[in-house]
Structure 1
Amino acid sequence: MTTPRTARRAVTAAAVTLLAIGTAGAAGAGPAGAAEPQWHKGIPPIATPWTAQVGPQNALPEYPRPQLVRSKWQNLNGVWQFGKAAAGQAPPVGQDLAERVLVPYPIESALSGIQRHEDRMFYRRTFTVPAGWQVGQGQRLVLHFGAVDYDAKVWVNGTEVATHRGGYDKFDVDVTAALKGTGPQELIVWAEDLTDATGQPIGKQRRVSDRGIFYQGSSGIWRTVWMEPVADSSVSGLIMTPDLAASALKLTAETVRGEGLTVQAVAKAGGKVVGKVTGAAGTQLSLPVPRAKLWSPDNPYLYDLEVTLLNGRRTVDSVKSYFGMRAIGTKKGADGKLRIALNGKILFNMATLDQGFWPDGLNTAPTDAGLKFDLQQHKEMGFNAVRKHIKVEPDRWFYWADKLGLLVWQDMPSANTGPIPPEWREQFEAELHEMIREHRSWTSVIAWVPFNEGWGEWDREATGRIAEDVKKQDPSRLVNAHSGVNCCNSKGDSGKGDVIDFHQYLGPASPAPDENRVSIDGEHGGYGLKTSNHMWFGDGQAYEMTPDSATLTRKYVENQRAVLTSARSCGISAAIYTQITDVEGELNGFWTYDRQVAKMDFRQVRAINREIIAKADGTPGDTPQPGPGTPGLTGVAFYPLDGNTEDAAGDHDATLVGDPGYVDAKKGQGVDLNGSSQFIDTGAPVLNTASDYTASAWVKLDKADGVFQTIVSQDGASVSDFFLQYSGADQRFAMSFAGVRALGPAKPEVGRWYHLTGVRDTVRGELRLYVDGELAGRTGACLPQAAPTGNTVIGRGKYGGNPVDYLDGTVDQVHLYDRALSAAEIKDLYASGN
């Protein structure tokens, strides 16, 4: 039997007994006179403030299931026997293993004492059932495994009692039938973890760190192992969903052998009963919570909960738990844009990317204080949210998020970055839904994220279906179908879920919401700083390095001001900065990887974060409304290019650069450009890029390959303000800003004339591309542009301060407009041939 569960509430004191292993007369003894193997803590490359505190007597001794608490339990963390295993090897029943490992730290970690990877392994120890537990006399013994990465088997006294697949979820097993008499009971666990050699969900884990964005893997037991006595009929889980409209908590007490029994639930505030309900076990009950105190990041109020399982008037089982009253949803702001709302009020989610890795424990925090530390720092720095990035933490992490008041965006751990192999797809979906099942009652969790940057995605329609399946499973939270849908291996926007999520480094990203989905910046930032003696590899990198803490802080504040602009102008509802700590070779944390050195001035960090949360409230931004512009289809500048570069509409006569020649073109003559050094310079910034504008031209390409070519652009300080271009990356025409493209539908033909029109529309916050008079592509581009700083040019762009993307082809009939042309006007312009 392998029954995953949920968990709950404040820790009650419990006896923790670390039992001897390998003792004579118990589960086997070594050769006579041989020294007993000892556990020795490994030496991590860098140590956290908690590394030295970890030892056999205090390996994560806290109660591991705060959402479902019983008074009697026993922790099985501590020193176990350990040995490498071969495929198909029989369990070492009654046999000592040669090494010692500290559970629950993954074997690759220094704290485990093993500090190496094994594909397969055995763990072994003995335990004794306390006499007072009355197991077999109306009570049963349940073993709980917080997580074993990845495939696991469990034996008790030589009897196989469980198998489990999945590295991030829990499993429980009733071992009562496998116990023998009294005294020591033998427990053996087998684990196999092939990590990135398979299609299993692994998140950022790799067998060998790439010293970049992927890290050292964690194998074997990596969360607490414990046991407890339970009644023959017992509560196995609590499903809790706040219902603010009804002033109640929807509550289902899941049970084992609970048929015909009754559940009584009592809600308390400060020890005083505020609500009570009684009903059949296994059915949804409505627990009254009148005049509820609402949970929020600024006031994370939690109610106590007592649940009793009754047979008539006799108590069969009782558990303690807690809950918060809150609702997550969406709401239109005063600016008309759809935004995230908590408890019916718009609340910007200001978060960090939290990967949850540790230099001493890898996947496992060294202590509960360490686990809490990262979340406390979020609060200290003024964040109100956290994105748990492609990893699932133990229950106590979510407990601290509930207690401290943080909104959690929970990722599903990804498989490898390529498409998940067909034989692993069902397993991925099963683990996704199990993750949701186990975490559906945490107050802090407000969103599910099935995919990140397309890693593992195999089909856009399948991604959309999966998002819908998640929403059906949990309609009370947001579903972010694919974080970073604009990036990397993404299959494109399925249109499903509640969120449009872009990534942009350094960013921020600025997607606009639509009528049904809010928009967020799912990742941005990534400024780095080297800190001597606090780097995993002694060196590392970031998206942009800075020389000192003051510069790093300044860069962060400037970047966050852009977040506020994106929130007010574009309507993003959340922004996620990379990241809370350095991780291995990534040096872009607020803290060093060892949590020893704060890398920024947190007073400034807190001030800008709180300002964003206060001002990104759905009120309109400060972007001025565009004027009517110059009427007609001639424009503010027009270059017929009939043997000269005169401006037929104004006074911005252009010059030829690089000696290109005139040739017969679409209408009369045009200019033939060589793709390497030739272009046309208008001598001025013709277009006001702080307002609406349109650029139009006829173009014939001499080549269409992977090289970018620009038809019309305007120089900025280091990058063109816009590009009307052929995008070599997409092999399609585009109207673009750096990193944002409105793309045409198909690859253009070499030697054919096309009419291209690019429109910047500040009111709608978008770029539009028209090809031959028809709308070909559009994309969100809502951030205001700065006033122009460079000349409008024909036949090249600018990037990184350098001229780039020269046109290899012929250009003719170039029009520039100080307004956004309508679709009808563009059709007329195309039809005129001008």
Structure 2
Amino acid sequence: MSLFRPVRRARPRGPAAAALLAGTLIAALLSPATHAAANPAGAAPAAADPPLTTPWTSQVSARNALPEYPRPQLTRDRWQNLNGSWQFAEATAGQAPPVGQNLAERVLVPYPIESALSGIKRHVDHMWYRRTFAVPPSWHGDRLLLHFQAVDYHTTVYVNGVRVATHTGGYDAFTADVTDAVRGTRPQELVVGVDDPTDIGTQALGKQRAPGDGIFYTPSSGIWQTVWMEPVTAAHVERVDTTPGLAAKDLRLTVHAAGAQAGTVEATAYAGRRKVGRVTGAAGTELRLHIAKPHLWTPDDPYLYTLKVRLRNGHGPADEVGSYFGMRSISLGKGPDGKVRMLLNGTFTMQVGTLDQGFWPDGIYTAPTDAALRFDLQAHKRLGFNMVRKHVKVEPDRWYYWADRLGLLVWQDMPATYAGHSPSAATKTQFETELHALVDQHRSHPSIVVWVPFNEGWGEYEPGRISAAIKSWDPSRLVNADSGVNCCDSLPDNGEGDIRDDHTYVGPGTPIQQGVRASVDGEYGGLGLKVDGHMYDPAHGFAYEMEPDAATLTRRYTELQNRLLQVEKGCGLSASVYTQITDVENELNGIYTYDRKVLKPGADEVRKANLALIKASGSVGQGGGGSFPPGTPGLDGVAFYPLDEGTGTVAKDTAGSRDATLVNGPAWTTGHSGSALQFNGSNQFADTGAAILDTTGNYSVSAWVKLDRRGSFATAVSQDGDTNSAFYLQYSGADDRFAFSFAGVRALAPAAPQTGQWYHLTGVRDAATGTLTLYVNGEKAGTASACLGDPSTGHTVIGRGKYGGNQVDFWPGALDQVHVFDRALSADDVAALYRSGK
């Protein structure tokens, strides 16, 4: 229910006569409004101090608050910008709109009230905005449309006391025809009431929290995108939907119109000044505009055609609008290595991007200027990225316009709710209404290639149905049903959508491409650096991995991207999203500081590493990729420790020459066959003194094991890496199961083991299939996908592991007959080894 009670409705005007509107070119997008709006709010709001200033903070004033044309894909040459100084007041429940009343405070629209740029800089749940405006005399006889690009969250609009619109949703544009509420030529009164429960409701709100904290940030309430108006003919264009069709060399075009039951559309496409196509047909129907030799849109060549649309209905002047489009396709298909990949224009192009959350220290949700809005995207291009993931936020239309023009692929998230996995029917309806509006409003931007309805399970429900709904609304793009389906609050992955998306910090994750979906690293990284004088709150800054200086940050970033290069080639990865392009409040893991004043890592090194990933798109599957040496035949392996000495400090390698030294005095005991080693579970192990295995290829390890106790991790055989063991043949205390593991990935046995009982464990790493397989007593017990093995030059050891740079997981019990193989044993090999007893 709306907080705001309407007042008595004023007497409407009679029907307005239509007037011809001239078409507009794309150049008009860079210009402010043709007519400046009357601004009776009085003195401009007093500036508030932001926690950090950006290079654009000082450029903002009541005279130039985002003056650019706000709707780049449907332009007209006559419009009026209503941004600037407005009156403002807090509201109370049930309060009538303050028609004819001056409000005590001043707010700078369109900056959210919590922002310093607004002049308010505090959170308010219920609020009033008020101003007057003048209708230019040249607009007399036209219909007058009042547009709100975005208001958070529930909005009621009055013109001269007449309620002209209500809207629920914080991210989509809405429009009111206010013609019949306008009175004569005197100043017209505009009152806007807003109700924003933020995180105490079930609304879609992304990362807004009151107060912001941790990975959630300061909320943005009220008007936060441009307010404007324009005159139109009685029959006029409301929306132009375009979808490129490369196979047919055409543009599928639907013109949605108002006030015309049977209007006729004429659409003309231009390449520069040259006309390249024309189509006519009925409004509201799909038309095909043929483009004989389409110039494809790509990140390297973001070519845009100009589109002019004229609507006639036979009873008045035509409505003319300008637009643009790009010719490109996005699909799934086989890459050069036969793995399913994301294809741009039919070709695998590795998508290399960042997480872009779109927050600002001075404007919070609203960039201070259009140049600031453009800056983050230009930074992506300068640093060699070709993609950006817009994270649980929707930007103003001009952001997507700049992505289209600059050449960046966009993954567009739906702002999350936090209603849990069982939201009410009303919450679902509202979420899906806003999701549909998101798709409809932005469907014609060539930059957008992926829709992301859910992130890490936040507010996730029925992902299969939601993904199918998005596909029905827009079959031309891919759907990432749940970014981070492997973590957090995500529901079980049942194969929904076009993409399986892994989130691993610091990572990168190594999700292997399987089945019919593409595989991506939708979040990884999070490398941090503190920069004095450029932190939101120095006492509370954090990152997933904090670096001591810029040189270390640059080196670590390069290491992550080099690792991604292996994942791209070996695992079939199609895309990567690094966290993140800028710091956000207390998160200090940005490539830029939050104020956009400092680039933290070396630009040349970042660009080189990113471009290497993109360049590799054309060489995946060429060499390497799945061909591995056959390994040493037989069941002894390349190292075999029978552990039959029964005494001494050395365990003989009877298959090779890498005898193991006993460390900290493990005792000899009765084994499964002959003698064995007894470990105390705290500091004892046996060190072979060598890196026996190439852990980037195929290998297997086996041992007879007996546990004296359960509950904590315990490792029978491993090989040390720089930070973690390359593999673990182990007991997983977290699962109470035997396991064969990489750090973060475990192939688990189905049941808990018993203490005091001998078991034969075999772990098989098959690099060609990207799997880990655990066998228990000769039978296959569990498998897991892990497409890459970590390179390791550390020693192969018996009785412990390594994690986080420390020796860990010491075995509490006995171990016997340890084998190390430089090949992936078959199931028959494992069964034979178990039966042999050795």
Shared fold per TM-score greater than 0.5: yes
Q: Separation in 1 of the partners of 2:779 and 2:474?
A: 42
User: Who is 1:278 aligned against?
Assistant: 280
Q: Separation in 1 of the partners of 2:54 and 2:703?
A: 61
Cα distance change of structure 1 residues 704 and 478 upon mapping to structure 2, 3 Å threshold: farther
| Deviation by residue 1:673-728 (Cα, 9 ceiling, x = unmatched) | 443233344444333324311122344445444x3222321222332111122333
User: Who is 1:427 aligned against?
Assistant: 430
| Deviation by residue 1:410-443 (Cα, 9 ceiling, x = unmatched) | 1111223954644533433332222112111101
Q: Aligned AA for 2:55?
A: P
User: Who is 1:542 aligned against?
Assistant: 543
Cα shift at 1:653? 4.5
User: Who is 2:86 aligned against?
Assistant: 80
User: Who is 1:364 aligned against?
Assistant: 366
Q: Secondary structure at the match of 2:562?
A: helix
Q: Aligned AA for 1:258?
A: A
User: Who is 1:504 aligned against?
Assistant: 504
User: Who is 2:253 aligned against?
Assistant: 251
Q: Aligned AA for 1:471?
A: K
CA contact (8 A) 1:15 1:73 kept: yes
Of 17, 34, 53, 1:15 maps to 34
Cα distance change of structure 1 residues 776 and 61 upon mapping to structure 2, 3 Å threshold: farther
User: Who is 1:686 aligned against?
Assistant: 692
Q: Aligned AA for 2:511?
A: P
Of 122, 126, 134, 1:128 maps to 134
Cα distance change of structure 1 residues 86 and 716 upon mapping to structure 2, 3 Å threshold: same
Cα shift at 1:772? 4.5
Cα shift at 1:783? 2.8
Identify unmatched segments of 5+ residues in structure 1: 23-35
CA contact (8 A) 2:767 2:787 kept: yes
Q: Separation in 1 of the partners of 2:37 and 2:297?
A: 38
Q: Secondary structure at the match of 1:611?
A: helix
CA contact (8 A) 1:16 1:61 kept: no
Of 396, 399, 403, 1:397 maps to 399
Cα distance change of structure 1 residues 608 and 684 upon mapping to structure 2, 3 Å threshold: closer
Cα distance change of structure 1 residues 630 and 324 upon mapping to structure 2, 3 Å threshold: same
| Deviation by residue 1:776-834 (Cα, 9 ceiling, x = unmatched) | 443332335425321322x3211122211223344444332221011333344445665
Cα distance change of structure 1 residues 184 and 600 upon mapping to structure 2, 3 Å threshold: same
Cα shift at 1:377? 1.2
Cα shift at 1:399? 0.3
Cα shift at 1:661? 5.0
Q: Separation in 2 of the partners of 1:235 and 1:115?
A: 38
Cα shift at 1:558? 2.8
User: Who is 1:30 aligned against?
Assistant: none
Q: Separation in 1 of the partners of 2:577 and 2:231?
A: 43
Q: Separation in 1 of the partners of 2:257 and 2:136?
A: 24
Q: Separation in 1 of the partners of 2:744 and 2:771?
A: 13
| Deviation by residue 1:576-620 (Cα, 9 ceiling, x = unmatched) | 222212211122222221112222332232223222211232343
Of 268, 271, 281, 1:269 maps to 271
User: Who is 1:309 aligned against?
Assistant: 311
User: Who is 2:18 aligned against?
Assistant: none
CA contact (8 A) 1:199 1:420 kept: no
CA contact (8 A) 1:699 1:755 kept: yes
Structure 1, 670-679 or 534-543: larger mean CA deviation? 670-679
User: Who is 2:589 aligned against?
Assistant: 588
TM-score (norm 2): 0.91
Q: Percent identity?
A: 57
User: Who is 1:609 aligned against?
Assistant: 610
User: Who is 2:200 aligned against?
Assistant: 197
Q: Separation in 1 of the partners of 2:481 and 2:445?
A: 20
User: Who is 1:33 aligned against?
Assistant: none
Q: Aligned AA for 1:765?
A: G
Cα distance change of structure 1 residues 697 and 455 upon mapping to structure 2, 3 Å threshold: farther
Cα shift at 1:52? 0.9
| Deviation by residue 1:496-554 (Cα, 9 ceiling, x = unmatched) | 22222212233222222124122222122222222221211135232223333333323
Q: Separation in 2 of the partners of 1:221 and 1:621?
A: 56
**Aligned pair 1:44/2:50, yes or no?**
yes
Q: Aligned AA for 2:545?
A: E
User: Who is 2:823 aligned against?
Assistant: 819
Cα distance change of structure 1 residues 613 and 125 upon mapping to structure 2, 3 Å threshold: same
Identify unmatched segments of 5+ residues in structure 2: 3-23
Cα shift at 1:750? 5.5
User: Who is 1:712 aligned against?
Assistant: 717
| Deviation by residue 1:126-148 (Cα, 9 ceiling, x = unmatched) | 222222223xx4x3222111111
Q: Separation in 1 of the partners of 2:291 and 2:554?
A: 44
Q: Secondary structure at the match of 1:483?
A: coil
Q: Separation in 2 of the partners of 1:180 and 1:747?
A: 79
| Deviation by residue 1:216-272 (Cα, 9 ceiling, x = unmatched) | 111111001111222222211111100011110000111123322211111111122
Q: Aligned AA for 2:478?
A: L
Cα shift at 1:624? 8.1
Q: Secondary structure at the match of 2:28?
A: coil
Q: Separation in 2 of the partners of 1:774 and 1:203?
A: 47
CA contact (8 A) 1:721 1:788 kept: no
CA contact (8 A) 2:253 2:286 kept: yes
Cα shift at 1:361? 0.4
User: Who is 1:558 aligned against?
Assistant: 559
Cα distance change of structure 1 residues 448 and 647 upon mapping to structure 2, 3 Å threshold: same
User: Who is 1:25 aligned against?
Assistant: none
**Aligned pair 1:778/2:778, yes or no?**
no
Written as runs of structure 1 = structure 2, the 5 A alignment for 1:146-295 is: 146-210=149-213, 212-295=214-297
TM-score (norm 1): 0.91
Structure 1, 398-407 or 508-517: larger mean CA deviation? 508-517
CA contact (8 A) 1:10 1:321 kept: no
Q: Separation in 2 of the partners of 1:833 and 1:191?
A: 76
Q: Separation in 2 of the partners of 1:428 and 1:729?
A: 37
Cα distance change of structure 1 residues 601 and 95 upon mapping to structure 2, 3 Å threshold: same
Q: Separation in 1 of the partners of 2:424 and 2:704?
A: 47
CA contact (8 A) 2:543 2:587 kept: yes
Cα shift at 1:643? 7.3
Give aligned pairs, total: 807
Cα shift at 1:38? 4.8
Structure 1, 79-88 or 553-562: larger mean CA deviation? 553-562
CA contact (8 A) 1:685 1:792 kept: no
Cα shift at 1:324? 0.5
Of 78, 90, 93, 2:99 maps to 93
Q: Aligned AA for 2:748?
A: L
CA contact (8 A) 2:330 2:478 kept: yes
Cα shift at 1:650? 4.5
Cα shift at 1:69? 0.8
Cα distance change of structure 1 residues 600 and 748 upon mapping to structure 2, 3 Å threshold: same
User: Who is 1:599 aligned against?
Assistant: 600
CA contact (8 A) 1:503 1:524 kept: yes
Cα shift at 1:663? 5.9
Q: Separation in 1 of the partners of 2:623 and 2:529?
A: 33
Q: Separation in 2 of the partners of 1:604 and 1:465?
A: 43
Of 341, 344, 349, 1:342 maps to 344
Q: Secondary structure at the match of 2:829?
A: helix
Q: Secondary structure at the match of 1:292?
A: coil
Cα shift at 1:179? 2.9
CA contact (8 A) 2:534 2:594 kept: yes
CA contact (8 A) 2:452 2:480 kept: yes
| Deviation by residue 1:365-419 (Cα, 9 ceiling, x = unmatched) | 0011110111111111121111111111000000000011111111111223954
CA contact (8 A) 1:147 1:167 kept: yes
Cα distance change of structure 1 residues 60 and 16 upon mapping to structure 2, 3 Å threshold: farther
User: Who is 1:387 aligned against?
Assistant: 389
Q: Aligned AA for 1:132?
A: S
Q: Separation in 1 of the partners of 2:180 and 2:706?
A: 80
Q: Separation in 1 of the partners of 2:37 and 2:422?
A: 41
Cα distance change of structure 1 residues 751 and 473 upon mapping to structure 2, 3 Å threshold: farther
Cα shift at 1:58? 0.7
Structure 1, 721-730 or 260-269: larger mean CA deviation? 721-730
